[in-house]
Amino acid sequence: MKNHSVFCVSDHTGVTVEAVAKSMLAQFPALEFSLIALPFIDSPEKAQEAAARIAATPGALAFSTLTDPALRVPFHAAGVSLFDVFERIAPAVETALGEAATPSGGRTHGMTPDYESRMDAVNFSLALDDGLQPQRLSQADLILVGVSRVGKTPSALYLALQHSLRVANYPLTPDDLEQNSLPDVLLANLTHLRALTLSAERLAAIRQARYPNSRYASLAQCRNELAAAERLFARHAVPVIDSTRMSVEEIAARLRHS
């Protein structure tokens, strides 16, 4: 099968153009693609070099997010047909706003969380990982709860990094699960609780990878823990997200909007 080289050209990190290219290409499931990232194309010289490389690659496609129209010129001049997100959307946005766009080099100044608040959120989420420092739970934007290995830590870190949220996570131990209600320290912060759960099969597979053939990783144990946890969540009306088939992005988006 023919494999298309797909260049992702950006004047900044390339995060956006790679996401657009991947989503677009997923709509051609019968074809195969190799992505080549060309980030930080932020001068006419770099644009010329990138354009020459793409033009020399047979059957190549090129997606881009180049905010400055001048940076697109070398590509058009080299005969590269660029799928540039801004080139194709900007005219309609300009019409709607009644104003011309000013190129800004991929920066989203003033609209993304700043470095300090992200660092603060990451530090907080690490400090309150896995039930640490429960006395600080009242400072959390969100508190993820669930049994061991349902994906609390990666979800908390993702929300901290991407959205500057201070996200604690608290594991429900077998001892917690034997009680009739959630631990007091969680009940004191009930509105900030969000529960994660998984299918028992999935959880057992994840635990098996770490502790093969242990009681902890057995399907029966996973079933019991999950059922007990779900009873507690229902009792206190904690929103529950079943992350069995979800990516971290999807879990995070559902947590933010639940």
Report if residue 104 touches its own copies, rule: CB under 8 A. yes
Report if residue 131 touches its own copies, rule: CB under 8 A. no
Per-residue binding string, its own copies, 184-213, x by CB under 8 A, is: ----------------------x--x----
- What angle is formed at CA 172 by the lines to CA 170 and CA 178, rounded to 5 degrees? 150
Least distance CB 221 / its own copies (angstroms) = 20
Q: How far apart are CA 73 and CA 228, in angstroms?
A: 62
Report if residue 31 touches its own copies, rule: CB under 8 A. yes
113 or 134: whose CB is closer to its own copies? Answer: 113
Q: Are 163 and 207 in contact (CB under 8 A)?
A: no
Residue list 218-257, contact with its own copies (CB under 8 A): 247-250, 252-254, 256-257
Q: Give the strand order in the sheet containing 61-65.
A: 32-38, 3-10, 61-65, 82-84
DSSP states of 45-105: HHHHHHHHHHHTSTT-EEEEE-SSHHHHHHHHHTT--EEEHHHHHHHHHHHHHTS-----T
Among 1, 56, 97, 237, binds its own copies (CB under 8 A): 97
Q: Are 125 and 166 in contact (CB under 8 A)?
A: yes
Report if residue 12 touches its own copies, rule: CB under 8 A. yes
Contacts with its own copies: how many residues (CB under 8 A)? 75
Report if residue 157 touches its own copies, rule: CB under 8 A. yes
226 or 255: whose CB is closer to its own copies? Answer: 255
Q: Are 161 and 122 in contact (CB under 8 A)?
A: yes
Report if residue 56 touches its own copies, rule: CB under 8 A. no
Among 24, 177, 185, 240, binds its own copies (CB under 8 A): 24
What would the two tokens of residue 68 be? 């400055």
Among 51, 65, 74, 229, binds its own copies (CB under 8 A): 65
